Amino acid sequence: MTMNKALIALALGFALAACSNQDQAADAAADASAAATEAQAAADASASAGEATADAAQESADAAATAADAASDAAMDAAAATTSEAADAAADTAEQAADTAEAATDAAKEATEQ
């Protein structure tokens, strides 16, 4: 393989890794957004039912929304990353924020059920 072909192969490898991280981060942000929407629906249902746990459900929904925002920011960071390490870190941050949003959604649902 010539030096030019090796450099092209290396560049393509970096490009594919960056795309993968961007997709991973975007998927995590979408998951977090869906979780936040679900948490807000649970909080709204709790409030409309007049349950005493409505405040706890709303706090959980707010936490899910905050996590969804963090996941979205991380997805943008992954898209703008100039190194594969930065893109990996941003994608991991987005996934962690999505997990946080899902946990907050579960908490909102549990508060509604009580």
Query: What pLDDT score does 10 carry?
Result: 46
pLDDT tens-digit map of 29-80: 888 888 888 888 888 887 776 666 778 888 888 888 888 888 888 888 887 8
- 97 by Cβ neighbours in 10 Å (0-12 / 13-18 / 19+) ranks as buried
Residue 16 has pLDDT above 70, yes or no: no
Residues 88, 40, 23: CA angle, nearest 5 degrees = 20
Q: What band does 15 get if pLDDT is binned at 50, 70 and 90?
A: very low
pLDDT classification of 1: cutoffs 50, 70, 90 = very low
